[in-house]
Amino acid sequence: MMRAAVAGASGYAGGELLRLLDAHPDITVVAAAAASRAGEPVSAVHPNLSGLGDLVLSTTDPELLGAADVVFLALPHGESASIVAALPEGAAVIDLGADFRLIDPAAWAAYYGGAHAGTWTYGLPELPGQRDRIASSRRVANPGCYATAVTLALAPLLASGLAEPRDVVVTAASGTSGAGRKATDALLATQVMGSMSAYKVGGVHQHTPEMEQSLSAVAGAPVTLSFTPLLAPMPRGIVATCTAVAASGASADDVREALVAADRDGPLVHVLAAGQGPQTSSVAGSNAAQLQVALDAHAGRIIVVSAIDNLGKGAAGQAVQNANLVLGLDERAGLTADGVAP
C-alpha cells in the first residue's frame, strides 16, 4: 500500500480527501495534519468519517508529512510553498491550493498578492497531453474548482478552432463549501437559504487568470474571459454556463462531436445525450463532470453547460486522480463517476 499524508485535513477539501483515501484500494492515510485542531480525532472534526476514528490530527510537521509516499496539501492559498520547501526534494506532492498553478508572476501578484512560488505541472489530465505530463511529474498543481468546470467545457472547442478566443463569457454557481470552512456572515444559513448572489464581479475572481492561461494554451492565441461567479444555496457543486463566439461555418453537429471526441479518453467526463442537462445533484460525491452543448445560431455563440462537485472533480477527487497518475496506479482507483442523487 502507498502511504499518504494530508495537510489541511480539518477543512472541507481535506476532509473529502480523507474520505476518498479511506476507501482507496492502493493508498492508506498515515498522517492527517491540521494545526488548529491538532490532537483531536478526525471523527470529531469530520463526523462522517467514523471509519478513521483511530486517526488523530497532528501538527503540520514537514518531517511527518515527508515520510509518506504522497503528500496532499489542502491549505489556504499562499501557505503551501513554505511547507514544500521543507519536504524531501523527491517527495510526490499534490497541491490543492493556488500557489503553483500560474505561470505568470504578474498574474499571481495581481490576483493573490505576494511573491510567486513557481509553477508545477498543471493537474487537469483531460487537457491535451497532460495525462502523460502528470504521470512523469512529482509535483502537481491541482486546478481550481471553477477553472476545472470551465476548462473542461471550452478547451475542446477552442483547440479545434470551432470557438473564437475573443469574448468568452462564463457565469457559474457554486455551493457554499467552495468558500472554505469558516464562519462569515455571508455563509450563515439565514443569508444563504432561499437566495443566490453574485460575488467578485468584474474580472476580479482569482480563477480568472488560471482559466485564461489553460484556454489560451489550447487555443494557440490569447483568450479573454469575463467571469461572474454566483453563490448558490447548496453545500456542494458547481454548474457553469460557458459561452464563446462560434467560428464561421461551425455547426451544431461539429461542436457536439468536438466535445465527444475530446472526452472519449477521459473516463470521468461525460457529454450527455441530447435533451439532458448537467445537474449538480447527479455528480455529488463523485469525480465526474457532466457536459451539454448547444449552438445558438441566432446569437452566433456556442453554449456549454458543465456540472461538477466542487469538492470532487473540483478539488479532492481530482487530487486523488492526479496522485494515481503520479504513483503509477489506475487513474480511476478510489474514484467513482456515479453521484449520490437524490
User: Helices in 7-144 by DSSP H: which ranges?
Assistant: 12-22, 42-45, 62-66, 80-85, 105-111, 130-135
Instruction: Give Cβ neighbours of residue 295 (< 8 Å, ≥ 6 apart).
Output: 246, 250, 251, 252, 255, 301, 302, 303
Please state whether the peptide bond connecting residue 342 to the residue before it is cis, i.e. omega within 30 degrees of 0: yes
Sheet hosting strand 2-7, strand order edge to edge: 27-33, 2-7, 70-73, 92-95, 139-141, 121-122
CA distance 91 to 157: 36
What single string gives the DSSP state of each residue in 161-181?
A: TSB-SSSEEEEEEE-GGGG-S
**From the CA atom positions of the chain, what is the Rg in Å?**
19
The C-alpha cell that represents 302 in the structure block? 456556442
Task: Identify the burial level of 298 via C-beta atoms within 10 angstroms of its C-beta, where 0-12 means exposed, 13-18 middle and 19 or more buried.
Answer: exposed
4, 27, 145, 152: the catalytic one is 145
Q: Which residues pair with 313 in a beta bridge?
A: none
Which amino acid, residue 81?
A
Instruction: Give Cβ neighbours of residue 266 (< 8 Å, ≥ 6 apart).
Output: 125, 126
The C-alpha cell that represents 38 in the structure block? 491538532
The C-alpha cell that represents 186 in the structure block? 455571508
| Range 251-274 burial, b when 16+ CB lie within 10 A, else e | eeebbbbbbeebbeeebbbbbbee
Catalytic residue list contains 145: yes
Tell me which H or E stretch contains 324. Answer: helix 317-326
CA distance 19 to 298: 46
Active-site amino acid positions: 145
